[in-house]
Amino acid sequence: MEIDDFFQGSALNAVDAKGRLSVPAFVRSVIERGSEARAIVIGAHEISPCLTAYGRNYARNLYREMERRRLAEEERGGTIQDHYARARRTFGMTEDVPYDTSGRIILPPMMRRKGGIEDLALFVGVGGTVEIWNPRVALEQGDADLRDIAAWRLEEKGIAL
């Protein structure tokens, strides 16, 4: 991956009652460099109470990593059930979500519920993917840097903590 393929930055955007929100420019620019499609793949994060998102082409990287982990677990005596649970989470618990020319999407209800997304969505670049957090959850459960990002973005928009 080139540096241009990485998600870097953060943004806080409003989510309306129907689940509509704007995908930040720092996310769209990476997606559009990697694909003709104006779509973002959104899924459940592996360990954090948020969503993860990426461009369609990034799924190849996820598959390679999943296979690497499967082989390593087999060597340590891991079960195939662990592999399939990871595969379901990685590929089954996702939605391919197109965005319009202004970058707006409708966050699918299952993803919205899974990520606990309410009226605000905090996008945080983490390299090959971007996390989508309820900023209030990020303030409570995130690491110190994530809490700082959430607090800063909320203050920037004039939203009381």
d(CA 50, CA 132): 6
Q: How many domains does the chain have?
A: 1
Give the tens place of pLDDT for each residue, 83-129. Answer: 788 788 888 889 999 999 999 999 999 999 999 999 999 999 999 99
Supply the pLDDT for residue 4: 62
Give the tens place of pLDDT for each residue, 6-27. Answer: 999 999 999 999 999 999 999 9
Q: Is residue 73 part of a domain?
A: no
Q: Is residue 161 part of a domain?
A: no
Domain that holds residue 152: 3-56+95-156
- The string of DSSP letters for 61-113 reads HHHHHHHHHHHHHHHTT--HHHHHHHHIIIIISEEEEE--TT-EEE--HHHHH
Q: Is residue 28 part of a domain?
A: yes
CA angle 16/100/24 to nearest 5° reads 65
Q: Is residue 67 part of a domain?
A: no
Q: Is residue 42 part of a domain?
A: yes
- More confident site: 127 or 5: 127
- Mean pLDDT value across residues 62-80: 80
User: Over 80: is that where the pLDDT of 138 sits?
Assistant: yes
- Mean pLDDT value across residues 31-45: 88
Q: Is residue 13 part of a domain?
A: yes
Domain with 140 in it: what CATH number? 3.40.1550.20
Q: Is residue 74 part of a domain?
A: no
Q: Is residue 106 part of a domain?
A: yes
- The string of DSSP letters for 23-59 reads PPHHHHHHHHHH-SS-EEEEEE-SSSSSEEEE-GGGH
User: Over 70: is that where the pLDDT of 2 sits?
Assistant: no
